Amino acid sequence: MTDTLQRADIQLIQRILPHRYPFLLVDRVEEIDGTARALGIKNVTMNEPHFQGHFPGTPIMPGVTIVEAMAQTAAVMVGVAMDLADKDLLIYFMAIDGCKFRRKVVPGDVLQMDVRTLRGKPGGKIWKFEGKATVDGEMAAEAQFTAMMDLEA
């Protein structure tokens, strides 16, 4: 880990990611260590639209949105490290491997997404990450995912 970790608040996140409500799934990134590692935060609230149908009376954050939150955290990490704010970065999933879900994520939880780069370098388009999402230190989900990062010309 470097001596100076960077951070990203919601304003910087929105300058890097193309996602907006209701699909912007990271509220802040508390620790960014270059392109090596990042720790993102998602405050899970009842007013999110997926809770209307997943499931009525028993709201549970869909697993795919947990994986998406990890991927968005990884994209913010790369965007901050490579100074890509306001550069029209688009990110596409290429693969999701070894995905496992361990606990429900419900309104009121604070989801922490710890992502690490397994493969990728500044200037490269293809990146592979591993992510672990936890609530109160308890594993909620984990996965490896590959993404293509594309800057529009």
Nearest CA-CA partner of 61 in 80, 6, 70: 70
Q: Does the annotation count 54 as an active-site position?
A: yes
pLDDT range class, residue 100, cuts 50, 70, 90: very high
**Per-residue model confidence as pLDDT tens digits over 54-95:** 999 999 999 999 999 999 999 999 999 999 999 999 999 999
Residue 128 has pLDDT above 90, yes or no: yes
Q: Could you tell me the pTM of the whole model?
A: 0.96
Residue 2 has pLDDT above 70, yes or no: no
Up-side HSE of residue 27: CA atoms within 13 Å toward CB? 8
State the catalytic residue, choosing from 54, 103, 116, 128: 54
Residue 152 has pLDDT above 80, yes or no: no
**Per-residue model confidence as pLDDT tens digits over 44-57:** 999 999 999 999 99
Q: Which helix (H) or strand (E) holds 65?
A: helix 63-81
List CB contacts of 2: < 8 A, sequence separation 6 or more: 33, 34
